[in-house]
């Protein structure tokens, strides 16, 4: 297995993220119906569909360029809180990788940390608030811990995704403390958070595609 992949080939990461959101439109909407407005899947699908259309006009985009397009579309085309949040997330991923022709495990950590920092600048949500941060923060921390232990790119990704999955599952057991779902408080217990769900799906698509790129 390789220790890096090219930013150019990484365009497949962007394609996979877009596809997973579009495929899971109904699932995300159903999850959101238990606490939010029930429109998370619809809004996310709208943004990523527009991003797909924009990228289809740019056949030779790199991963960083594709992530930037997603960011710009989400910032400008999606209403509510998720547009700015995910727009900032993808802007961070793009900014931390745009100067790199090759993406290795160290650059990936920088990408994840920058994405997290951009979100942290916008929201006070932290682990335990029933939000996408319940997925993202453990994921970034697990990746950094694995990297510090000298583990391979593949293992860093695997441990990061496992932590993200645990974080997603944890949102079922806690009441919503922020956003629209906070209005129903304890009644949100038993249902996973919609933002945490979409965050996990995005990370899962990233990791699985990078696995494939590292094997080539």
Q: How far apart are CA 71 and CA 150, in angstroms?
A: 32
Write down the domain spans for the chain. Answer: 4-215
156 with 108: CB under 8 angstroms? yes
pLDDT at position 9 over 70 = yes
CA geometry: angle 30, 43, 114, nearest 5 deg: 105
- What does the pLDDT look like over 168-207, one tens digit per residue? 999 999 876 665 545 545 545 778 999 999 999 999 999 9
| 36-65: pLDDT as tens digits | 677 899 999 999 999 999 999 998 999 999
1.25.40.340, 1.20.1080.10, 1.10.274.10, 3.30.420.40: CATH of 4-215: 1.25.40.340
Residue 73 backbone dihedrals phi, psi, to 5 degrees: -65, -45
């Amino acid at each position: 297995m390789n220790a890096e992949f090219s930013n150019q080939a990484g365009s497949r990461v962007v394609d996979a993220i877009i596809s997973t959101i579009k495929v899971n439109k109904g699932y995300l909407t159903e999850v959101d119906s238990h606490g939010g407005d029930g429109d998370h899947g619809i809004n996310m699908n709208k943004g990523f569909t527009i991003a797909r259309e924009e990228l289809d006009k740019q056949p030779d985009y790199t991963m960083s360029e594709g992530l930037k397009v997603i960011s710009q579309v989400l910032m400008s085309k999606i209403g509510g809180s998720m547009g700015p949040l995910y727009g900032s997330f993808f802007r961070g991923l793009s900014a931390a990788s745009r100067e790199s022709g090759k993406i290795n495990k160290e650059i990936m950590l920088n990408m994840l940390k920058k994405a997290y920092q951009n979100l942290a600048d916008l929201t006070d949500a932290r682990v335990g608030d029933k939000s996408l941060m319940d997925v993202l923060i453990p994921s970034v921390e697990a990746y950094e811990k694995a990297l510090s232990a000298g583990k391979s790119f593949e293992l860093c990704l695997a441990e990061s995704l496992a932590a993200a999955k645990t974080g997603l599952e944890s949102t079922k057991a806690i009441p919503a403390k922020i956003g629209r779902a906070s209005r129903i408080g304890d009644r949100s217990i038993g249902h996973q958070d919609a933002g945490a769900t979409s965050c996990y799906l995005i990370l899962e698509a990233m990791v699985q595609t990078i696995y494939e790129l590292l094997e080539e």
